[in-house]
Amino acid sequence: MRFLRALLSDDLPRSRALSAILVAIFLGLLFAPFLFSGSQALNAAAKILYFVVLAASYDLLLGYTGIVSFAHTMFFGIGGYGAGLALYGWGPSWSSVAAGTAIALVLSVALATAIGLFSLRVQRIFFAMITLAVASVFAILASQLGWLTGGEDGRTYQVPPLLRPGFRLFEGEIGGVAINGRIVAYYLLLVTALVLFLAMLRVVNSPFGRVLQAIRENDFRAEAIGYRTVLYRSVANCVSAAVATVAGVMCAVWLRYTGPATTLSFDIMLDILLMVVIGGMGTLYGAVIGATLFLLAETYLQTLMGAISRATEGIPLLPALFHPDRWLLWLGILFIGSVYFFPAGIVGRLGRDR
């Protein structure tokens, strides 16, 4: 128990229901290759892994520091393209992954610093607008520089041999499942996600994290106490950008493909925003629950809506509103509702029984 407490930086989920859900998600992800059959389910689980990291790093900004950024997918994309283009250009080796990640990290932190210098001094709103502008220009730029990025089509590449589907870790099976390269890749992602998540938990529960929360609550007062709020905000922005970059690398390694639609699009930015707010701002566990719920909804809500759409066929307008492609409409309404009625999100709803 003491070990667990230290691992979670003494920030335990303080509610039985929440703990139960988190444990269920963790066990589900841990045994995903054995619990669910088929590559579809494994893909969904891997997607949850890198989106948990992405959403948690966004929560570092939105929930803990109280600044709204629309450039988070840009950093995610830099990571994705960094690893992806390195694997594409320099061949499928671990050194390409490492070099690509390093370049991407440097670029991300430099960009985050530059944006922060320009806009964090002024107002939240300024930052939101400037990040939106920069990110959209970056996205268009990435699809324009076709010779480098492959344009709209993106790049498909090979990953190091250890992670390829044809690879066998050893002969034989565990629980009826052959341990191939995909499963190795999955566990690589899982470990990375876990390490990053625990590190972020460490950051938000450190004195540094407390200052961030003070800035969120009242930046004027935090400044008056003697903290240089601009500096703290900028560092938070850089940390968040760096973690998002690694999430991008995870995505690139898993998908063996990098393109604008999987990394840079504004839709993904909105998805992250929905995950964090619906899950619960200002608690990293909210990001876990939000990301999991959102990605499950992406698959299962559409099926449900398809059924409703067919059932309401004769009625005007309703089938169009329940068309499976309109699932984001309902999540958007849920999003607005949660900002109004339970700003602490699902985690806040589950309460904190002590």
Nearer to another protein, 201 or 281 (CB): 281
For residue 134, state whether it binds another protein (rule: CB under 8 A). Answer: yes
Residues 157 to 176 in contact with another protein, rule: CB under 8 A: none
d(CA 59, CA 93): 33
Nearer to another protein, 244 or 271 (CB): 271
For residue 343, state whether it binds another protein (rule: CB under 8 A). Answer: yes
Residues 175 to 234 in contact with another protein, rule: CB under 8 A: none
**Of the candidate residues 17, 35, 68, 99, the single one contacting another protein (CB under 8 A):** 68
Nearer to another protein, 244 or 274 (CB): 274
**Of the candidate residues 12, 132, 301, 308, the single one contacting another protein (CB under 8 A):** 132
For residue 137, state whether it binds another protein (rule: CB under 8 A). Answer: yes
| Contact in structure between 31 and 187 (CB atoms under 8 Å) | no
**Of the candidate residues 210, 266, 300, 351, the single one contacting another protein (CB under 8 A):** 266
Question: For residue 23, with 0-12 CB atoms within 10 Å meaning exposed, 13-18 middle and 19 or more buried, which class applies?
Answer: exposed
For residue 144, state whether it binds another protein (rule: CB under 8 A). Answer: yes
| Contact in structure between 93 and 101 (CB atoms under 8 Å) | no
Half-sphere exposure of residue 305, counting CA atoms within 13 Å on the CB side? 20
Least gap, CB of 118 to another protein (angstroms): 6
| Contact in structure between 167 and 186 (CB atoms under 8 Å) | no
Listing DSSP states for 6-55 in one string gives HHTTT----SHHHHHHHHHHHHHHHTHHHHS-SHHHHHHHHHHHHHHHHH
**Taking the CB of residue 312, how many other CB atoms lie within 10 A of it?**
15
User: Of 11-19, 34-42, 134-142, 230-238, which part binds another protein (CB under 8 A)?
Assistant: 134-142
Nearest partner of 62 among 267, 289, 221, 236, judged by Cα: 236
User: Of 207-215, 223-231, 283-291, 325-333, which part binds another protein (CB under 8 A)?
Assistant: 325-333
**Taking the CB of residue 59, how many other CB atoms lie within 10 A of it?**
29
Nearer to another protein, 16 or 121 (CB): 121
Given the rule CB under 8 A, which residues bind another protein? 66, 68, 118, 121-126, 128-130, 132-134, 136-137, 140-141, 144-145, 266, 270, 273-274, 277, 320-321, 323, 325-326, 328-329, 331-333, 335-336, 339-340, 343
